[in-house]
Amino acid sequence: MRCHRLLWLLPVLTLSCASSLVSPPLPTAVRAIAVLPPNNRTGDPLFVGGTSLLEKYIFRSQPVTVADVLAVEVRIQLEQRGITVLPREQVDAALGNQIPSSPKDAANLASHGKLEGSVLYIEIVQWQPAVAESLHPWRMLVAIHVHLVDVASGRVVWAAHLPLRPVPTPGAVTRADADMIAAQRVAKELFSS
C-alpha cells in the first residue's frame, strides 16, 4: 500500500529533473506587441484574488486570475527587453471580452479589432500545485504555449512551449503567492534568450 502512495510522486520527480525551457529569441524585426488575454484551457478559473467575501462585497474588487497575472508579467518582460507593448486598455477595447482560442483566432480577433503588427497568444494548458494535498504549494505544475502572430498574414512568427514541469515557488505561503511567483518565473524564462 505504501508503494502505491509513492508511485504518484514518480512523474513529479521525473519532471523536476527536466531541463529549463530554452526559447528561441524573438525576431529582431518585432518592435511592438499586443499581449492578448491568455486562453486558460485548464478547466479551473485559477483565481488568485478578489473572491473573498470582504474583497467581493466590501471592496468590490474584481477577481484576479493566473491568466491576468501571467499577462502582466509577460508585458513587463517584453518592456524590459526594449519592446513596445500596446497598453492593456487598447487591447481590451479592440477585443472586448473575447479571449482568443488559437493563434489563428488571435490574428482574426486582432484584425477585426484593428490591432496592427504582432500579437502574443498565450495558452495555459496546465497550472496546479505539484502536490494537491500540500498546505504549502512549493511547486506549481505548469504547461503553457506562446505564439507570436503577425496580424496581417496570420502567420506564427515565433513560438515557445513550456512542457509540463514543476516551477519552484520559493517563499510562497499561500496558493495565490505560489501562482504569482510561478507566473513571474515562467514569463521571465520565456524571454530569457
Provide mean pLDDT across the span 68-84.
96
Sign of CA dihedral 77, 61, 40, 18: positive
Provide mean pLDDT across the span 38-62.
73
pLDDT confidence tier of residue 180, bands split at 50, 70 and 90: very high
Provide mean pLDDT across the span 14-34.
70
Q: Which candidate, 185, 105, 187, places its Cα nearest to that of 138?
A: 185
Return the minimum-mean-pLDDT range out of 57-61, 78-82, 97-101, 113-117: 57-61
pLDDT the model gives residue 12: 42
Grid coordinates given for 88: 492593456
Top pLDDT among 10 and 141 is at 141
Taking the C-alpha atoms of residue 146 and residue 193, their distance in angstroms, rounded to an integer, is 15
Q: Is the pLDDT of residue 35 over 50?
A: yes
Q: Is the pLDDT of residue 8 over 50?
A: no
- Residue spans of alpha helices (H) in 17-59: 53
Grid coordinates given for 112: 477585426
Q: Which candidate, 33, 37, 156, places its Cα nearest to that of 99?
A: 37
pLDDT the model gives residue 46: 94
pLDDT the model gives residue 17: 42
The amino acid at 29 = A
The structural domains of the chain, ordered by start, are: 24-190 (3.40.50.10610)
pTM of the model: 0.83
Q: Is the pLDDT of residue 110 over 80?
A: yes
